[in-house]
Amino acid sequence: MKYVARINEAISLLRYLERGFMMRLARIFVLSTAIFGAVSAANAEDGFLGGVQFGRNADHWELRGGAGAYDVGPFSVQSFNGVTLNAEVLAPSPDFLSGIGSPRPYLGMDLAFSDHEIHAFYGGVNWEAYWTQRFYTGFSVGGAFVSDQTKTNDLGEQKDLGSKVLFHLQASVGFDITPNWTTQVYLNHFSNANLADSNDGLESFGFRIGYRF
């Protein structure tokens, strides 16, 4: 079947991706992209995966806002304490992206409130997979610009992101209160994929509310 062929092609590509956290996430991205396209086509044919739906909100704008823990996450060196304010805007998905699950372009920012703040401004594309009428998961991939490459905490420990220009990855779990209002738990990750000498990474983990229109 068509979706099986696409997934097999993606698995072949994964064999060429090597070590490192960003490479592991790249594997997820490549495989997810193939699955998204395959499932979108297969859903119309035979209800593959029980009707998991991609691109449900493809025609909508969305505003998101919330707060999170600064420099907290499973994949980066944790050096600082504080809070981040998170904001995002998502645009309708262009028609030419319909073959890969209709991801929506987004712009966002993490503003840090800390004695050692690093602010992040980012953009990319975002996928959503609905598993029920209200419950969904999301994945974003893109790029980011941060306010500082290095910061040193009160113990003299330095966080070095390696560059001010980084990759941005995001995972989220959401629940729709109404068709317009939604809630999400999210994880933001910023790093350079080991392209620089240092790659300590920066993350935030939090909760936010979204409004679609």
Residue 6 lies in a domain: no
Residue 19 lies in a domain: no
pLDDT per position as a tens digit, 4-18: 455 455 444 444 433
pTM for this one? 0.77
User: What pLDDT, on the 0 to 100 scale, is given for residue 39?
Assistant: 46
Band of pLDDT at residue 76, cut at 50, 70 and 90: confident
User: What pLDDT, on the 0 to 100 scale, is given for residue 47?
Assistant: 38
CB 70 within 8 A of CB 83: yes
Residue 34 lies in a domain: no
Residue 47 lies in a domain: no
The CATH number covering residue 151 comes to 2.40.160.20
User: Half-sphere exposure of 98 toward its Cβ, with a 13 Å CA cutoff?
Assistant: 5
pLDDT per position as a tens digit, 113-161: 999 999 999 999 999 999 999 999 999 999 999 999 999 988 888 899 9
150-153: long-range contacts, CB 8 A cutoff, minimum separation 24: 151/79, 151/80, 151/116, 151/117, 151/118, 152/116, 153/79, 153/80, 153/116
Chain CA centroid to CA 50, Å: 24
Residue 35 lies in a domain: no
Q: Is the dihedral of CA 93, 96, 97, 98 positive or negative?
A: positive
The average pLDDT across 180-208 equals 95
R_g (Cα) of the chain, nearest Å: 18
Residue 83 domain boundaries: 53-212
Residue 40 lies in a domain: no
Residue 167 lies in a domain: yes
Q: State the average pLDDT for the chain.
A: 84
- Counting residues of the chain whose pLDDT is more than 70, the rounded percentage is 77
CB 10 within 8 A of CB 35: yes
pLDDT at 80 over 60: yes
Residue 191 lies in a domain: yes
Domains identified in the chain, total number:
1
- Residue type for position 172: S
